[in-house]
């Protein structure tokens, strides 16, 4: 009987949507793990997500984007230190190779911008280019649009400045190393991103976290602390402060949910009951 029941227990943990209750809350709030892609394959939302969004007053995202002023976002990621630009840190041969890869794989806007943003952002765009771009917006922005249409109050858990500062603290030599590794291994990153998409479709946040943790640890252990652990602590503080005021749906990258320092564990340690809400996916939210 245990052998037969065990898979069902495991399946319950394979969930992108988690309910937060107890500890004095009068209404449940929810955590939902997103993936920052425009790939149609991941736009198959758990059936219970629509119910969760309908039931809350606030939708919280990592960043709420002002669609009326897109230049404001751009201004905040433009390099202030030209010494970190690709033309300054790469040899002529390396620069030519990177520019060729960007031109072949990314939108024209990145080709025009590549000298004005951090190398790690160029690397991220190249990795993202190995997925499909058949949705108008990445998932987080799509959910922001849906929340706006439903009249929900929007809340940013972070700022562009705080996210950018995390990336800006990565040593420039490390960023250069990462960018060149991506350029030289695009086929590998295609396999990697396809694997991530498959895990996301299975709602297996723990496996996504493990994959992200392994990758980031190989890149830089100190960056891992900044990229996930410290951000999780700051986001948890905002979530805990907001939930007693109005129930909320928190939609953040799926890797922020699991793990010993993830949002699920942090909220449990704060006294809340956090349980997975597993359901099949549908396109009803679309």
The reported pTM is 0.88
- CA atoms 28, 248, 17, 47: torsion sign: positive
Buried b (16+ CB within 10 A) or exposed e, 202-230: ebbbbbbbebbeeebeebbeebbebbbee
pLDDT digits over 131-146, tens only? Answer: 999 999 999 999 999 9
Mean pLDDT for 197-205 is: 91
pLDDT digits over 43-77, tens only? Answer: 988 889 999 999 999 999 999 988 777 666 677 78
**Which among 7, 4, 6 has a CA at the least distance from the CA of 202?**
7
pLDDT digits over 82-135, tens only? Answer: 899 999 999 999 999 999 999 999 999 999 999 999 999 999 999 999 999 999
pLDDT digits over 27-46, tens only? Answer: 999 999 999 999 999 998 88
C-alpha to C-alpha distance for 68 and 104, rounded to whole angstroms: 30
Domain boundaries, the chain: 2-282
User: Which of residues 284 and 7 earns the better pLDDT score?
Assistant: 284
**Residues in the chain, total:** 286
**Which among 213, 36, 44, 64 has a CA at the least distance from the CA of 127?**
36
């Amino acid at each position: 009987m245990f052998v037969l029941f065990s898979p069902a227990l495991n399946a319950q943990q394979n969930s992108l949507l988690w309910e937060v209750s107890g500890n004095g809350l009068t209404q449940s709030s929810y955590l939902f793990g997103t993936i920052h892609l425009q790939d149609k394959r991941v736009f198959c939302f758990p059936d219970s997500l629509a119910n969760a969004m309908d039931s809350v007053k606030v939708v919280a995202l990592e960043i709420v984007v002002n669609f009326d002023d897109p230049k404001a976002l751009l201004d905040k990621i433009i390099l202030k230190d030209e010494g970190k630009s690709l033309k300054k840190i790469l040899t002529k041969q390396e620069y030519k190779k990177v520019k060729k890869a960007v031109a072949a794989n990314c939108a024209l806007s990145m080709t025009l911008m590549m000298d004005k943003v951090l190398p790690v952002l160029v690397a991220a765009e190249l990795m993202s280019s190995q997925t499909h771009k058949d949705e108008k917006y990445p998932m987080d922005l799509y959910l922001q649009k849906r929340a706006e249409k439903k009249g929900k109050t929007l809340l940013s858990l972070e700022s562009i400045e705080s996210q950018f500062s995390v990336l800006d603290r990565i040593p420039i030599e490390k960023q250069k190393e990462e960018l060149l590794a991506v350029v030289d291994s695009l086929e590998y990153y295609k396999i990697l991103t396809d694997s991530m998409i498959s895990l996301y479709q299975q709602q297996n946040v723990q496996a996504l976290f493990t994959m992200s943790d392994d990758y980031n640890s190989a890149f830089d252990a100190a960056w891992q602390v900044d990229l996930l652990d410290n951000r999780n602590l700051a986001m948890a503080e905002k979530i805990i402060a907001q939930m007693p005021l109005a129930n909320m749906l928190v939609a953040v990258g799926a890797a922020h949910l699991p793990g010993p320092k993830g949002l699920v564990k942090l909220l449990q340690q704060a006294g809340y009951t956090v349980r997975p809400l597993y359901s099949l996916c549908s396109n009803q939210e679309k």
